[in-house]
Amino acid sequence: MSASKRSTKRKTTHVTLWVKPELKAELQRQAQEEGLSVSLFGGTLLEKAIHQELHTKHAALTQPLFDNAVKKYTAKLALLLARIAFTTEHNKQIDQNILSYLPNMEEPTARDVVNRSADKAMRNIRRKTPQMEQILKDIEKWLTEEKPNA
Check pLDDT > 50 for residue 29. Answer: yes
Quote the CA–CA distance of 142 and 145 in Å, as a whole number. 5
For the ranges 41-45, 138-142, 146-150, the lowest mean pLDDT is seen at 146-150
Q: For 87, how many CA atoms within 13 A lie in the half-sphere containing its CB?
A: 6
Instruction: Say what the pLDDT of residue 47 is.
Output: 94
pLDDT at 126 exceeding the cut of 90 = no
Helix axes of 21-34 and 38-101: crossing angle, nearest 10 degrees: 80
DSSP state letters, 39-54: HHHHHHHHHHHHHHHH
- The stretch 92-114 carries a mean pLDDT of 88
| Widest distance between CA atoms in the chain | 110
Cβ neighbours for 143, distance < 8 A, ≥ 6 positions apart: 73, 76, 77, 80
71-89 pLDDT, tens per residue?
888 888 888 889 899 999 9
Q: Is 50 exceeded by the pLDDT of residue 61?
A: yes
The average pLDDT across 42-49 equals 94
How many whole angstroms separate alpha carbon 64 and alpha carbon 71?
Answer: 10
